[in-house]
A = this chain, B = another copy of it.
Protein backbone atom coordinates (compact mmCIF):
# COMPACT_ATOMS: atom_id res chain seq x y z
CA UNK A 1 0.00 0.00 0.00
CA UNK A 2 1.36 3.38 -0.95
CA UNK A 3 2.49 5.64 1.87
CA UNK A 4 0.65 8.89 1.28
CA UNK A 5 2.51 10.98 3.89
CA UNK A 6 6.21 10.19 4.00
CA UNK A 7 7.59 13.45 5.38
CA UNK A 8 8.67 11.78 8.63
CA UNK A 9 10.79 9.25 6.73
CA UNK A 10 12.20 11.96 4.47
CA UNK A 11 13.05 14.28 7.37
CA UNK A 12 14.72 11.45 9.31
CA UNK A 13 17.00 11.01 6.30
CA UNK A 14 17.57 14.76 5.98
CA UNK A 15 15.83 14.89 2.63
CA UNK A 16 13.82 17.93 1.52
CA UNK A 17 10.30 18.32 2.91
CA UNK A 18 7.89 21.23 2.59
CA UNK A 19 7.11 21.42 6.31
CA UNK A 20 8.48 19.93 9.54
CA UNK A 21 6.91 16.56 10.43
CA UNK A 22 5.59 16.12 13.97
CA UNK A 23 4.81 13.20 16.23
CA UNK A 24 4.75 13.07 20.02
CA UNK A 25 6.35 10.58 22.36
CA UNK A 26 3.60 8.74 24.26
CA UNK A 27 1.00 10.28 21.90
CA UNK A 28 -1.23 7.30 22.68
CA UNK A 29 -1.55 7.82 26.40
CA UNK A 30 -3.38 8.76 29.54
CA UNK A 31 -4.04 12.40 28.57
CA UNK A 32 -6.62 11.08 26.05
CA UNK A 33 -10.07 10.13 27.43
CA UNK A 34 -10.51 7.58 24.63
CA UNK A 35 -7.25 5.93 25.72
CA UNK A 36 -8.48 5.71 29.29
CA UNK A 37 -11.70 4.09 28.06
CA UNK A 38 -9.83 1.41 26.08
CA UNK A 39 -7.41 0.95 28.97
CA UNK A 40 -10.37 0.33 31.29
CA UNK A 41 -11.86 -2.11 28.80
CA UNK A 42 -8.53 -3.98 28.66
CA UNK A 43 -8.56 -4.49 32.42
CA UNK A 44 -4.80 -4.27 32.82
CA UNK A 45 -2.01 -2.39 31.12
CA UNK A 46 -0.34 -5.66 30.13
CA UNK A 47 -3.54 -6.92 28.55
CA UNK A 48 -3.76 -3.70 26.56
CA UNK A 49 -0.22 -4.30 25.25
CA UNK A 50 -0.81 -7.97 24.58
CA UNK A 51 -4.11 -7.74 22.69
CA UNK A 52 -3.27 -6.66 19.14
CA UNK A 53 -6.75 -5.22 18.43
CA UNK A 54 -6.62 -3.04 21.54
CA UNK A 55 -2.98 -1.99 21.01
CA UNK A 56 -3.88 -1.09 17.41
CA UNK A 57 -6.92 0.88 18.57
CA UNK A 58 -4.96 3.06 21.02
CA UNK A 59 -2.15 3.50 18.48
CA UNK A 60 -4.67 5.00 16.04
CA UNK A 61 -6.57 7.17 18.55
CA UNK A 62 -4.26 10.22 18.50
CA UNK A 63 -4.28 10.23 14.67
CA UNK A 64 -8.04 10.77 14.72
CA UNK A 65 -7.61 13.94 16.76
CA UNK A 66 -4.35 15.48 15.57
CA UNK A 67 -2.60 15.98 12.22
CA UNK A 68 0.35 13.84 13.21
CA UNK A 69 2.88 12.58 10.68
CA UNK A 70 3.50 9.20 12.31
CA UNK A 71 1.96 6.51 14.45
CA UNK A 72 4.08 4.68 17.02
CA UNK A 73 3.04 1.20 17.94
CA UNK A 74 1.51 1.06 21.42
CA UNK A 75 3.63 -1.13 23.65
CA UNK A 76 6.00 -0.90 26.61
CA UNK A 77 9.80 -0.66 26.66
CA UNK A 78 9.90 -3.59 29.09
CA UNK A 79 8.32 -6.29 26.90
CA UNK A 80 11.71 -7.97 26.35
CA UNK A 81 12.55 -8.62 30.02
CA UNK A 82 8.98 -9.81 30.46
CA UNK A 83 9.53 -12.29 27.61
CA UNK A 84 12.75 -13.38 29.32
CA UNK A 85 10.70 -14.59 32.27
CA UNK A 86 10.98 -11.64 34.69
CA UNK A 87 7.18 -11.11 34.61
CA UNK A 88 6.34 -7.46 34.24
CA UNK A 89 3.51 -5.96 36.27
CA UNK A 90 2.35 -2.48 37.17
CA UNK A 91 1.44 -1.05 40.53
CA UNK A 92 -0.69 2.08 40.17
CA UNK A 93 1.39 5.16 40.97
CA UNK A 94 4.62 3.19 41.34
CA UNK A 95 5.57 2.38 37.79
CA UNK A 96 6.73 -0.94 36.36
CA UNK A 97 7.91 -3.84 38.53
CA UNK A 98 9.30 -7.29 37.89
CA UNK A 99 8.22 -10.36 39.81
CA UNK A 100 11.62 -12.00 39.23
CA UNK A 101 14.34 -9.34 39.08
CA UNK A 102 17.94 -10.40 38.43
CA UNK A 103 19.43 -10.98 41.86
CA UNK A 104 22.50 -13.14 41.25
CA UNK A 105 25.20 -13.90 38.70
CA UNK A 106 23.36 -17.14 37.93
CA UNK A 107 20.17 -15.24 37.21
CA UNK A 108 22.11 -13.37 34.53
CA UNK A 109 23.95 -16.40 33.18
CA UNK A 110 20.74 -18.43 32.94
CA UNK A 111 18.72 -15.67 31.30
CA UNK A 112 17.20 -17.18 28.15
CA UNK A 113 17.41 -15.48 24.78
CA UNK A 114 13.72 -15.54 23.97
CA UNK A 115 12.20 -16.65 20.70
CA UNK A 116 10.88 -13.28 19.61
CA UNK A 117 8.05 -14.59 17.48
CA UNK A 118 6.84 -16.98 20.13
CA UNK A 119 7.07 -14.74 23.19
CA UNK A 120 6.57 -11.31 21.63
CA UNK A 121 4.38 -12.29 18.69
CA UNK A 122 1.65 -10.05 20.10
CA UNK A 123 3.79 -7.00 19.29
CA UNK A 124 4.39 -8.10 15.70
CA UNK A 125 0.67 -8.89 15.33
CA UNK A 126 -0.16 -5.40 16.58
CA UNK A 127 2.34 -3.90 14.11
CA UNK A 128 0.88 -5.81 11.12
CA UNK A 129 -2.68 -5.03 12.11
CA UNK A 130 -1.91 -1.34 12.65
CA UNK A 131 -0.12 -1.07 9.31
CA UNK A 132 -3.20 -2.51 7.66
CA UNK A 133 -5.55 -0.18 9.53
CA UNK A 134 -3.39 2.85 8.79
CA UNK A 135 -3.83 2.18 5.08
CA UNK A 136 -0.80 4.27 4.14
CA UNK A 137 -1.96 7.40 5.96
CA UNK A 138 1.33 7.88 7.86
CA UNK A 139 4.29 5.63 8.65
CA UNK A 140 4.34 3.37 11.70
CA UNK A 141 7.27 3.57 14.14
CA UNK A 142 8.45 0.50 16.07
CA UNK A 143 10.57 0.74 19.21
CA UNK A 144 12.50 -0.91 21.99
CA UNK A 145 14.25 0.05 25.21
CA UNK A 146 18.06 0.17 25.03
CA UNK A 147 20.04 -2.68 26.60
CA UNK A 148 21.28 -0.48 29.47
CA UNK A 149 17.80 0.88 30.18
CA UNK A 150 16.31 -2.62 30.15
CA UNK A 151 19.13 -3.84 32.40
CA UNK A 152 18.45 -1.14 35.02
CA UNK A 153 14.86 -2.26 35.47
CA UNK A 154 15.81 -5.94 35.38
CA UNK A 155 18.44 -5.53 38.09
CA UNK A 156 16.63 -2.99 40.27
CA UNK A 157 13.30 -4.78 39.92
CA UNK A 158 11.60 -1.51 38.92
CA UNK A 159 12.30 2.20 38.71
CA UNK A 160 15.18 3.64 40.69
CA UNK A 161 16.55 7.03 41.65
CA UNK A 162 20.19 6.03 41.95
CA UNK A 163 20.47 2.75 40.01
CA UNK A 164 22.79 1.52 42.76
CA UNK A 165 22.41 -2.20 42.09
CA UNK A 166 22.73 -1.85 38.33
CA UNK A 167 25.78 0.38 38.57
CA UNK A 168 27.39 -1.81 41.18
CA UNK A 169 27.25 -4.62 38.62
CA UNK A 170 28.96 -2.47 35.97
CA UNK A 171 31.80 -1.46 38.26
CA UNK A 172 32.19 -4.63 40.30
CA UNK A 173 31.76 -7.24 37.59
CA UNK A 174 32.03 -5.60 34.17
CA UNK A 175 32.37 -8.98 32.47
CA UNK A 176 29.03 -10.18 33.81
CA UNK A 177 27.49 -6.81 32.91
CA UNK A 178 28.74 -7.20 29.35
CA UNK A 179 27.27 -10.70 29.22
CA UNK A 180 23.85 -9.31 30.18
CA UNK A 181 24.06 -6.28 27.89
CA UNK A 182 25.28 -8.40 24.97
CA UNK A 183 22.37 -10.79 25.40
CA UNK A 184 19.97 -7.85 25.55
CA UNK A 185 21.51 -6.20 22.48
CA UNK A 186 21.08 -9.41 20.47
CA UNK A 187 17.49 -9.71 21.61
CA UNK A 188 16.70 -6.05 20.88
CA UNK A 189 18.20 -6.50 17.40
CA UNK A 190 15.99 -9.53 16.75
CA UNK A 191 12.99 -7.71 18.18
CA UNK A 192 13.39 -4.57 16.07
CA UNK A 193 14.11 -6.62 12.95
CA UNK A 194 10.92 -8.57 13.60
CA UNK A 195 8.99 -5.30 13.98
CA UNK A 196 10.48 -4.07 10.69
CA UNK A 197 9.54 -7.33 9.02
CA UNK A 198 6.01 -6.99 10.40
CA UNK A 199 5.77 -3.52 8.92
CA UNK A 200 7.49 -0.91 11.09
CA UNK A 201 8.75 1.87 8.79
CA UNK A 202 11.10 3.53 11.29
CA UNK A 203 12.39 2.39 14.68
CA UNK A 204 13.41 4.22 17.82
CA UNK A 205 15.58 2.99 20.69
CA UNK A 206 14.71 4.59 24.03
CA UNK A 207 17.73 4.91 26.31
CA UNK A 208 15.79 6.50 29.13
CA UNK A 209 18.49 6.03 31.76
CA UNK A 210 21.69 6.60 29.79
CA UNK A 211 22.01 9.92 31.59
CA UNK A 212 22.61 8.16 34.91
CA UNK A 213 26.03 6.96 33.80
CA UNK A 214 29.41 8.65 33.81
CA UNK A 215 30.71 9.74 30.46
CA UNK A 216 33.07 6.77 30.28
CA UNK A 217 30.57 4.19 31.59
CA UNK A 218 27.97 5.50 29.15
CA UNK A 219 30.25 4.76 26.21
CA UNK A 220 31.18 1.32 27.50
CA UNK A 221 27.82 0.09 28.77
CA UNK A 222 25.12 1.93 26.85
CA UNK A 223 26.34 3.55 23.65
CA UNK A 224 28.37 0.54 22.56
CA UNK A 225 25.34 -1.74 22.64
CA UNK A 226 23.12 0.71 20.82
CA UNK A 227 25.78 0.96 18.11
CA UNK A 228 25.83 -2.83 17.93
CA UNK A 229 22.06 -2.91 17.46
CA UNK A 230 22.16 -0.19 14.79
CA UNK A 231 24.69 -2.19 12.82
CA UNK A 232 22.57 -5.35 13.11
CA UNK A 233 19.28 -3.92 11.89
CA UNK A 234 17.76 -4.74 8.52
CA UNK A 235 17.09 -1.17 7.62
CA UNK A 236 14.67 -1.75 4.82
CA UNK A 237 10.95 -2.31 4.52
CA UNK A 238 9.24 -2.91 1.18
CA UNK A 239 12.20 -1.51 -0.72
CA UNK A 240 12.39 1.65 1.32
CA UNK A 241 15.02 2.54 3.97
CA UNK A 242 13.89 2.21 7.61
CA UNK A 243 15.43 5.10 9.57
CA UNK A 244 16.77 4.45 13.06
CA UNK A 245 16.35 7.02 15.83
CA UNK A 246 18.36 6.90 19.06
CA UNK A 247 16.96 8.76 22.04
CA UNK A 248 19.34 8.84 24.97
CA UNK A 249 17.68 11.07 27.54
CA UNK A 250 19.90 13.53 29.47
CA UNK A 251 22.95 12.58 27.39
CA UNK A 252 23.59 15.83 25.62
CA UNK A 253 27.31 15.67 26.25
CA UNK A 254 27.31 12.49 24.12
CA UNK A 255 25.59 13.79 20.98
CA UNK A 256 28.69 13.53 18.77
CA UNK A 257 29.33 9.95 19.87
CA UNK A 258 25.67 9.05 19.33
CA UNK A 259 25.79 10.53 15.84
CA UNK A 260 28.77 8.30 15.08
CA UNK A 261 26.82 5.08 15.70
CA UNK A 262 25.45 5.11 12.16
CA UNK A 263 21.88 5.91 13.21
CA UNK A 264 19.80 8.29 11.11
CA UNK A 265 18.46 10.60 13.79
CA UNK A 266 18.89 11.57 17.42
CA UNK A 267 16.15 12.40 19.88
CA UNK A 268 17.10 15.50 21.85
CA UNK A 269 15.69 16.56 25.21
CA UNK A 270 14.98 20.21 26.06
CA UNK A 271 18.06 20.84 28.17
CA UNK A 272 20.06 21.77 25.08
CA UNK A 273 18.94 24.09 22.28
CA UNK A 274 18.46 22.50 18.85
CA UNK A 275 20.76 25.23 17.53
CA UNK A 276 23.62 23.98 19.69
CA UNK A 277 22.80 20.31 19.07
CA UNK A 278 22.76 20.91 15.32
CA UNK A 279 26.03 22.80 15.36
CA UNK A 280 27.60 19.85 17.17
CA UNK A 281 26.34 16.96 15.03
CA UNK A 282 26.45 18.83 11.72
CA UNK A 283 24.90 17.00 8.80
CA UNK A 284 25.53 13.53 10.12
CA UNK A 285 22.07 12.94 11.57
CA UNK A 286 18.59 14.43 11.75
CA UNK A 287 17.36 15.78 15.10
CA UNK A 288 14.06 15.00 16.76
CA UNK A 289 12.64 17.17 19.53
CA UNK A 290 12.73 19.04 21.78
CA UNK A 291 9.93 20.95 23.48
CA UNK A 292 9.67 20.62 27.26
CA UNK A 293 6.43 18.61 27.85
CA UNK A 294 5.54 21.05 30.65
CA UNK A 295 4.93 23.75 28.05
CA UNK A 296 1.70 21.93 27.17
CA UNK A 297 0.39 22.89 30.61
CA UNK A 298 0.59 26.58 29.73
CA UNK A 299 -1.99 28.36 27.55
CA UNK A 300 -2.16 28.41 23.76
CA UNK A 301 -0.28 31.66 23.30
CA UNK A 302 2.67 30.28 25.27
CA UNK A 303 2.57 26.99 23.33
CA UNK A 304 2.57 28.91 20.06
CA UNK A 305 5.53 31.04 21.11
CA UNK A 306 7.56 28.05 22.33
CA UNK A 307 6.82 25.98 19.20
CA UNK A 308 7.94 28.95 17.14
CA UNK A 309 11.15 29.29 19.18
CA UNK A 310 11.87 25.57 18.78
CA UNK A 311 11.46 25.71 14.99
CA UNK A 312 13.62 28.81 14.93
CA UNK A 313 16.28 27.18 17.09
CA UNK A 314 16.71 24.38 14.54
CA UNK A 315 16.55 27.00 11.78
CA UNK A 316 16.37 26.62 8.02
CA UNK A 317 16.86 23.40 6.16
CA UNK A 318 16.16 19.70 6.42
CA UNK A 319 16.58 17.16 9.16
CA UNK A 320 14.19 18.29 11.90
CA UNK A 321 11.35 16.17 13.26
CA UNK A 322 9.23 18.06 15.75
CA UNK A 323 8.55 16.25 19.02
CA UNK A 324 8.64 16.80 22.74
CA UNK A 325 11.89 16.17 24.60
CA UNK A 326 10.18 13.36 26.56
CA UNK A 327 6.73 11.76 26.73
CA UNK A 328 3.55 13.82 26.99
CA UNK A 329 2.21 13.80 30.58
CA UNK A 330 -1.25 12.64 31.71
CA UNK A 331 -2.45 16.05 32.93
CA UNK A 332 -2.21 17.72 29.49
CA UNK A 333 -5.40 19.05 27.89
CA UNK A 334 -5.60 17.38 24.43
CA UNK A 335 -6.62 20.72 22.89
CA UNK A 336 -3.19 22.01 23.80
CA UNK A 337 -1.61 19.31 21.68
CA UNK A 338 -3.87 20.39 18.82
CA UNK A 339 -2.40 23.88 19.21
CA UNK A 340 1.14 22.46 19.09
CA UNK A 341 0.53 20.30 16.03
CA UNK A 342 -1.31 23.02 14.14
CA UNK A 343 1.36 25.59 14.95
CA UNK A 344 4.07 23.31 13.58
CA UNK A 345 1.98 22.91 10.42
CA UNK A 346 1.45 26.64 10.11
CA UNK A 347 4.89 28.01 10.95
CA UNK A 348 7.28 25.34 9.71
CA UNK A 349 6.97 25.79 5.90
CA UNK A 350 9.03 28.99 6.01
CA UNK A 351 12.02 26.97 7.24
CA UNK A 352 11.84 24.69 4.20
CA UNK A 353 11.84 27.19 1.33
CA UNK A 354 14.59 26.81 -1.19
Contact = CB atoms under 8 A, between A and B. Distances in A.
A264 to B, nearest CB: 23
B276 A172 contact: no
B164 A331 contact: yes
Nearest to A212: B271
Q: Say whether chain A's binding surface is mostly helix, strand, loop, or mixed.
A: helix
Nearest to A217: B292
Contacts of A167: 292, 294-295, 297
Contacts of A293: 162
Copies assembled: 2
A171 B302 contact: yes
B294 A168 contact: yes
Contacts of A164: 294, 297, 329, 331
Nearest to A159: B161
A172 B329 contact: no
Interface string A247-286: 0001111000000000000000011110010000000000
Contacts of A252: 252-253
A217 B270 CA distance: 10
Most buried by B among A214, A252, A272, A309: A214
Nearest to A251: B271
Nearest to A216: B273
Interface in A286-309: 292-295, 297-299, 302, 306, 309
A336 to B, nearest CB: 11
A89 to B, nearest CB: 20
A172 B272 contact: no
A250 B211 CA distance: 9
A84 interface: no
A214 B253 contact: no
Nearest to A162: B329
Contact of A253 (B272, B302, B329): B272
Nearest to A172: B298
Nearest to A163: B294
A215 interface: yes
A271 B294 contact: no
A213 interface: yes
Nearest to A174: B302
Contact of A213 (B162, B211, B271, B302): B271
A167 B299 CA distance: 13
Interface string A191-223: 000000000000000000001011111100000
Given A271-B211, A271-B214, A273-B216, A294 B171 contact: yes
Interface in A32-51: none
Contacts of A162: 293-294, 329
Contact of A302 (B172, B302, B331): B172
Given A171-B302, A214-B271, 6 more contacts: A164-B329, A167-B294, A211-B271, A214-B292, A216-B309, A253-B271
Q: Which are the 9 A-B pairs with shortest beta-carbon distances?
A: A167-B294, A171-B298, A214-B270, A168-B297, A172-B298, A215-B273, A171-B302, A253-B272, A214-B292
Interface of A: 162-164, 167-168, 171-172, 211, 213-218, 250-253, 270-273, 276, 292-295, 297-299, 302, 306, 309, 325, 329, 331
